[in-house]
A and B are shown apart, each in its own frame.
Chain A
Amino acid sequence: MEQRSPLLPALGFIAPVQLFVGVIIFIPALYVFWLSLTESSFGQAPVFVGLANYARVLADPYFWKALVNTVIVVLIVVHVELLLGLGMALLFASGVPFRPLLLAAVLAPYAVSEVSAVVMWRFLFDPEVGFATQALTALGLPPLEWAVVPWQGLLLVSLLSIWLHLPFTFVILYAARLAIPGELYEAAQMDGASGFARFRRVTLPLLVPAMLIAMLFRYIFAFRLFSEVWLLTGGGPARQTEVLAVYLYLEAFRYNAFGDAAATGWLLVVASLVLALWYLRRLYKEMFATYAP
């Protein structure tokens, strides 16, 4: 029945999911664009103001602070995760004892909510009694003053975020590593390639697609970072640790500047799509190759 598929029953089957994403995500996302061109607040009729909201947002130093903070955190989080995830994938692929048990341990942070993770990391770095603070002191290092010094607050946000999301990156890379056929390594060994050469010539090139996918997804998801920052520093002190999602939330729900928030939101959407452009192009081709023979 693959040839000449009737469309109508298929449409019936995909209707629920399309309705969900269409009504709950797509239409609201488009509507945000319209909101971003208007001046409005709750219960007030919107007035068209053109690009005024964008101009105001782009002139707001707090927006730029939030943008820079977001970019820094995303760059740190995604790349550290990629390196650690790769290391762990290779470690597991080289054979570890009690593998199912170790795998469960490594996946454990995936089960933890952002809120619980904040409880954990706040306590670890508590200035008085935190284990991590005590360990730093024992090593003769200064404690992390994350509640006072903005960059140290962002550092703690990054650490927490890496901890929470490393299982995702790891699983993607580990699965990709396991998918590499063993014969390739045997052949490389017969050619007399050393361990490092095998890594560089066989493992690394074959892992690149998975690494790109993991990195892309993590870029996009890290970019919308909200809870970790909100719960850890609330954007403070003095709005110095805000990220874009926190900025948007504050504009909309605290300062009632709905137009500004919508402009920020639309910028977030566009940035996410631009980041994903390469992936979207590939996806588009693949979808049409699969579904429209």
Chain B
Amino acid sequence: MRRNPLLMALKGIAILVVLAWSLIPIAMIMVSSFKTDRDIFAVPPRLAFQPTWTNYVALWERWGDFFHGLLNSLIVTAGATIVAVLASAVAGYAYSRFRHKVLAGSAFFLIFIRLIPPIVITLPLFPAVNWLGLNDTHFILIILYATFFVSLGTLVMRTFIDQIPKEVDEAAHLDGASRLQVLYKLILPLSAQGMVAVAVFVIVYAWNEFLFAFIFTTTRAKTAPLVLSEMIGAVEGVEWGVLFAASTVQLLPVLIFVVLAQKHLVAGLTAGSTKG
């Protein structure tokens, strides 16, 4: 390969632009969350400043709701992840190992359903959920979040289970293992990578989801993004410092998670979107 210095310089610039675009908005709120109001509103922006915990203290003292929201987010995310991963793994196994016309139709149905906009189904679900007394519960959010990810989850799991040779389960069957035993003793452990990939998607989605939380929760099951949105809309004007602190707390765990799990995220996206 020839190395054209001009080309190399352009490439360096391109890399810097991509980095700035991706990271500056995130870095900005994280850094600003440690600034006093005076530093936040300084024109031109101050890079050197005395870091302070004031905003985090104010968040803790005045927005107890937010920490309650974080706990709710944690519960809902954990619940949705477990439900979605298990249901997807079991279905992925069937789609990988069985062949039948009915399965063809149901696989089509599963992906076709994914195209329906979530907001549309809130119209009939809202009265139904109220009637069942399920609104403002963790349960309803867990079910909704899991439902919107089982289609992609099943696809991803099928792709991963397809990579396990069929001889593995056939040998187990000859040894007298039942299908369920094959599934949970062999297939699930061997497709752990796929389960992690599915979990990554559900976790990121459920932790950040806004629309369903906005419509189906009011107080008890309110998630962190919803409390954040209330902080944006607070009547007495936006308290930027506190808002930055809250955003940082909400975003940091899942950001670290995505960085650590990036390999699985990429694998899952490729398995889920290009193969059907």
Contacts and interface: CB of A to CB of B under 8 A. Distances in A.
B23 interface: yes
A276 interface: yes
Contacts of A64: none
Contacts of B254: 111
Contacts of B225: 113-116
A222 to B, nearest CB: 11
Interface in A92-148: 94, 96-97, 100, 102-124, 128-129, 131, 134
Interface residues of A, number: 101
A1 B255 CA distance: 43
A210 B100 contact: no
A11 B102 contact: yes
A135 B265 CA distance: 34
A17 B211 contact: no
Question: Mostly helix, strand, loop or mixed at chain B's interface?
Answer: helix
Given A103-B262, A175-B274, A10 B103 contact: yes
A25, A262, A269 — which one has the most chain B CB atoms within 10 A of its CB? A25
Nearest to B173: A1
Contact of B166 (A2, A31, A209): A2
A17 B110 contact: yes
A28 B262 contact: no
Interface string A259-293: 00110011011001100100010011011101111
A261 to B, nearest CB: 6
Contact of B101 (A26, A91, A265, A292): A292
A119 B41 contact: no
Given A21-B151, A116-B29, A291-B101, A88 B232 contact: no
A106 B238 CA distance: 29
B198 to A, nearest CB: 12
Contacts of A118: 232
A128 B37 CA distance: 14
Contact of B125 (A24, A96, A245, A258): A24
Nearest to A268: B117
Interface in B228-245: 228-229, 232, 238, 240, 243-244
B215 to A, nearest CB: 7
B224 to A, nearest CB: 8
B228 A116 contact: yes
B25 A120 contact: yes
B255 A129 contact: no
Interface of A: 1-2, 5-7, 9-11, 13-14, 16-18, 20-21, 24-26, 28-29, 31-32, 35, 42, 87-88, 91, 94, 96-97, 100, 102-124, 128-129, 131, 134, 163, 168, 171-172, 174-176, 209-210, 213-214, 217, 220, 223-224, 226-227, 231, 245, 248-249, 252-253, 258, 261-262, 265-266, 268-269, 272-273, 276, 280, 283-284, 286-288, 290-293
